[in-house]
Amino acid sequence: MLRAFTPLGAAVLVLACQWLGLWGVAAEAAQGPIEARPGAAGAIDPCRAPVEPGARASAEPVVEELPEQDEDWCLDRFAPPVSYGELGEESLERACERALGPGCRADEGAALRRVVRFHYLQRAQPLASADGVLSRFRDPSAAYAHYTRAVLGGGGPELAKATQLDGGRLAQRGDSLFAWRGRELLWLRYVDERSAADRRQQLANESLPRLARALLARLGGTDDLPSSLQRLPAEGRIPLGVRVFLDEAFGVAGLGPSALGYYRQGNEHWRMIAMQRPDAESAKDLMSTLEHQPEAHRIERAPLEALMLSERRGPGEPPLSWVIARQADVVYGIGTEDHSARLAAESGSALTLEQKLGKLLGAQGQ
């Protein structure tokens, strides 16, 4: 089903490798997008050409999920979709090699269930197209956790240089777009080798969101955000400033799912974590676990039951100073970076202990 690479295909591979860091790993082993046959004068229109003999049978389970025709796009019949994992033609390990990068089974990638890579042609632009990868996870929380990792990479939202769409369910960056719905994570990249980078980005901004929405609508599934994320305050949160983790918080592994938000108001910068548990007793147990961490201690004479915890991070990263409290079945934390405390105080951006406690009280009252 895969064609030999042409010079155009080699160029697409080089550009695609820039985006196969979705999984936070090097993508040297990735094989790039499915090879397409661009339209040319006198050539058969790929949008109308019949599927080649033998291709329909292997691609049929995938075509049920991907619309063959759209107002602006059509599925490239000369480069049928390839699926990996559940009901797929190849294994997920093969998907790591050819579509996602060699580390794609790490972290929340362990919850990966299926991958489909595909190629769409744009009707109005015969030489323009869109490469795509659709990943299905164990559940919506696992999919959203990976979505936030793909959008933010290893930094915060200020460094992501992405544009938020649809309440944060879509994120556009350069000539690519990430989208989430239910168990699915979608990546699209606009391909037009004739256009300069800024023009290609403009065309991507104009066309990829509509294609993404059409694909996600076809898949169905819930667009309800993970419960812990829903408990994070919206006020002051930076656009796309959220990460979802499946089994950690405050630098402690094994605590269960959590949502981390990045906030800014005026000169003040802080982070907030929300961890929703099934009931108040489970939340109390979580507080007890945190209290027994080596870097934790209770805050005396606070307006609510709270503790402080210092999170040690990687080399070169300053510790995070957290104030943590519980309200019913939710555990909240407010954190700031320790290394910038003096400079932050001079600029008026430092959060005092009283301010952190006040923000926790405000979050718990929402």
Per-residue pLDDT of the chain (366 residues; tens, 9 = 90+): 333 333 334 333 333 343 344 443 323 323 344 444 444 444 555 566 555 555 443 444 455 678 888 788 988 878 889 899 887 778 888 888 888 876 676 655 578 999 999 999 998 787 899 999 999 999 999 999 999 999 998 788 887 889 999 988 999 999 999 999 999 999 999 999 888 989 999 999 999 999 999 999 888 778 889 999 999 999 999 999 999 999 999 999 999 999 999 999 888 889 999 999 999 999 999 999 999 999 999 998 888 889 999 998 888 788 899 999 998 999 999 999 875 545 554 444 568 888 898 888 877 545
Look at residue 1 and tell me if it is in a domain: no
- What single-letter DSSP state applies at residue 110? G
Whole-angstrom distance, CA of residue 107 vs CA of residue 245: 10
Q: Please list the residues that pair with 325 across neighbouring strands.
A: 306, 332
* CATH number for the domain that contains residue 354: 3.40.1000
Q: Considering its fold, how many domains does the chain have in total?
A: 2
Pairing of strands 170-173, 163-165: antiparallel
Nearest to 81 by CA among 40, 27, 134: 134
Residues 104 and 203 in one domain: yes
Q: Which helix (H) or strand (E) holds 214?
A: helix 197-219
Residues 215 and 231 in one domain: no
DSSP string covering 280-298: HHHHHHHHHHHHTSTTEEE
Residues 214 and 244 in one domain: no
Cβ atoms of 50 and 77 within 8 Å: the answer is yes
Residues 270 and 356 in one domain: yes
Listed residues 219, 246, 266: the one ending a domain: 219
Residues 295 and 258 in one domain: yes
Listed residues 219, 253, 285: the one ending a domain: 219
Within 13 A of 9's CA, how many CA atoms are on the CB side?
A: 14
- For residue 27, the SS3 value is coil
Pairing of strands 129-137, 112-122: antiparallel
Residues 207 and 327 in one domain: no
- Tokens standing for residue 233: 């305050």
Residues 194 and 235 in one domain: no
Listed residues 179, 202, 219: the one ending a domain: 219
Phi, psi of 269 (to 5 degrees): -130, 135
Q: Please list the residues that pair with 323 across neighbouring strands.
A: 308, 334
Look at residue 2 and tell me if it is in a domain: no
Residues 159 and 246 in one domain: no
Residues 151 and 296 in one domain: no
Model-wide pTM > 0.95? no
**Residue numbers of the domain that contains 286:** 227-364
Whole-angstrom distance, CA of residue 71 vs CA of residue 75: 12
pLDDT, tens digit, 9 for 90 and up, residues 263-288: 998 888 899 999 999 999 999 999 99
Q: How far is CA 336 from CA 232, 326, 339, in A?
A: 16, 19, 9
Residues 238 and 194 in one domain: no
Residues 182 and 270 in one domain: no
Residue 158: the pLDDT is: 81
Residues 271 and 203 in one domain: no
